[in-house]
Amino acid sequence: MDWINVAVLIAYLLIMIGFGVWGKRRIATSSDYLVAGRNLGGILYTGTMAAVVLGGAAAVGGVGLGYQYGISGMWLVISIGIGVGLLCTMFAPIIQRLRIFTVSQMLTLRYGSEITQASSVVMLAYTLMIAATSTGAYAAVFAVLFGWDRWLAVLVGGSVVLIYATVGGMWSITLADMAQFILMTIGTFGLMLPISLHHAGGWEGLSQRLDAEFFDIGGMGLQSIITYFVVYTLGLLIGQDIWQRVFTARTPRIAQIGGLSAGVYCILFGIVGAIIGMGAAVVLPGIEVRDDVYARVALDMLPVGLGGLALTAGVAAMMSTASGGLIAAATVMQSDVMPLLRSIAAGKRPNHLSPIDIAHIADEAAAHTEVAEQDVEFNRRWVLGLGAVVMVIALVVPDVVAALTIAYDILVGGLLVPIVGGLMWKRGTGMGATSAMVAGSVGTMLTMGYLEITAEQRFDGIFANEPIYVGLVLSLVVFVGVSLAGAPTDRAVMDAWQRRSRGERVNYAELSKQYSQIPAEARR
């Protein structure tokens, strides 16, 4: 690789560290650190949302799929774009108005039951694996470019992400995401697309030199396309790393319109990535590993310097996803998992909550806007500690992608129905949600284990589609059945939820006093 291209990449890494210093100056509270003060406008929000979802799978994987399958390679990234669009169109305004920090807090507010905090364990595993997978991806690029051993590549690349995420929190990540969004736009739309098409002889050259199946939008197979939508579209609806970006929006309208814009951008990105891959199939035939196609286009087809910029755009996408997963993991750990572990250690049994009980959980998020600097330092320690854990996972887990697949399957199979059901169906109950989590998660894991045992090759069971389908069906049936069979959610809890989801200020003491005059049985 030419030294100019290397210099471009190194300059980018140094700038990322500078963003950490800049972000530190804007942090006075935990709200600033974890959700950028809930103050992002439309442009920053759109950029950070697009950057966090367009990771290595989208930038590098999308081009590789286009190289192998042609235009149908676009479906991976399109499924991501549709997931973002659906989340922000349907649920982002409600999520933003709740003014919370985690998905688990939403479940507790909605169902009035502490047992839903168990969802945080699954969410923690998912966010850690998201960060570890992305860390491994950009470390692999560094290992090739600089000739480093893998451990050194993980250490250097992970340290850059860890520095700017730990020092500057969500403000630094937001600024880094915006820079990454600009780089991805320039690198993909402005450089790789026109240059790859030029070398291939334009669209006419592609038509003449590629087989007809490269132009079939279903060329990769219906099963693969369905899998992308089940895993990515549904997963994006409930992922903590994505919700945490929604929490950063200044208003519900920004969360909705900005997220929809990010979804449209992702769809265009997917189409363009597939076309770049098609151009590479004409100009650079014979590449055996499809994940290498992106780097080969950047280094072999683009002029020196511009190639480094395009390659940096791919690394930026991976780092954006890694930093997003890292701060999401830290938020879940300190807000949900640690309180859950403390309750278990104290022998406290989870129970149903009154409005006064819920007030502590609900208003804790608002209180974070006024906390002292030492609480920000507490947040930093969690990000630093879990960042080290992410780097260890990236180094020691034999197949991080397999671990991520397991986490994704359990996330979708076990948590999708209780989360979306709580947002859309008033009759859903805490017992129904809890039972659905257990049924969906256990069904997913048992099916995955059975398929893995009976599979001819290792990981065939883990990468199969059936575990998610089984988990979703079981979760839905149990959620509806148990919810209808039991008493509805307490009217006081539902009243508080509905007021809060409309963005109204809730006086929990007054609400509790109002409903205390009504027998519990009559509030069902």
What span, in angstroms and rounded, lies between the C-alpha atoms of 155 and 387? 11
In the three-class reduction of DSSP (H, G, I as helix; E, B as strand; rest coil), residue 352 is classed as strand
Q: What is the DSSP string of 94-109?
A: HHHHH--S-HHHHHHH
pLDDT (tens, 9 = 90+) of the chain, 524 residues, equals: 577 878 888 898 899 889 888 888 888 888 888 888 899 999 999 999 999 888 777 888 889 899 999 999 999 999 999 999 999 999 999 999 988 889 988 998 888 877 778 888 889 988 998 898 888 888 877 877 788 888 898 999 899 999 999 998 999 999 889 988 998 899 899 999 999 999 999 999 999 999 999 999 999 999 889 888 988 899 899 999 999 999 999 999 999 999 999 999 999 999 999 999 999 999 999 888 787 888 888 888 888 888 888 888 888 888 888 899 999 999 999 888 888 888 888 777 666 665 556 655 555 544 444 444 457 888 889 999 999 999 999 888 766 667 777 888 889 999 999 999 999 999 999 899 999 999 999 999 999 889 888 877 776 777 788 899 999 999 999 999 999 999 898 887 888 888 888 888 777 667 666 766 666 565 55
Can you give the pLDDT at residue 406? Answer: 82
pLDDT tens, 356-403? 566 555 555 444 444 444 578 888 899 999 999 999 998 887 666 677
Can you give the pLDDT at residue 365? Answer: 47
Q: Which string of b and e fits 29-49 if b means at least 16 CB within 10 Å?
A: bbbbbbbbbbbbebebbbbbb
Cα distances (Å, whole numbers) of residue 409 to 46, 159, 438, 460: 27, 29, 13, 14
pLDDT tens, 1-27? 577 878 888 898 899 889 888 888 888
- Asked whether 303 and 128 are in contact (CB, 8 A), the reply is no
In the three-class reduction of DSSP (H, G, I as helix; E, B as strand; rest coil), residue 398 is classed as coil
Spatial neighbors of 447 by CB under 8 A, at least 6 apart, are 466, 467, 470, 471
Question: Count of H helices and E strands in the chain?
Answer: 26, 0
221: which 2 tokens? Answer: 């197979």
Nearest to 70 by CA among 248, 295, 277, 342: 277
Domains of the chain by residue range:
3-10+38-342
- Asked whether 478 and 431 are in contact (CB, 8 A), the reply is no
What span, in angstroms and rounded, lies between the C-alpha atoms of 217 and 72? 4
Fold classified for 3-10+38-342: Sodium/glucose cotransporter (1.20.1730)
Rounded to 5°, the CA angle 325-290-85 comes to 45
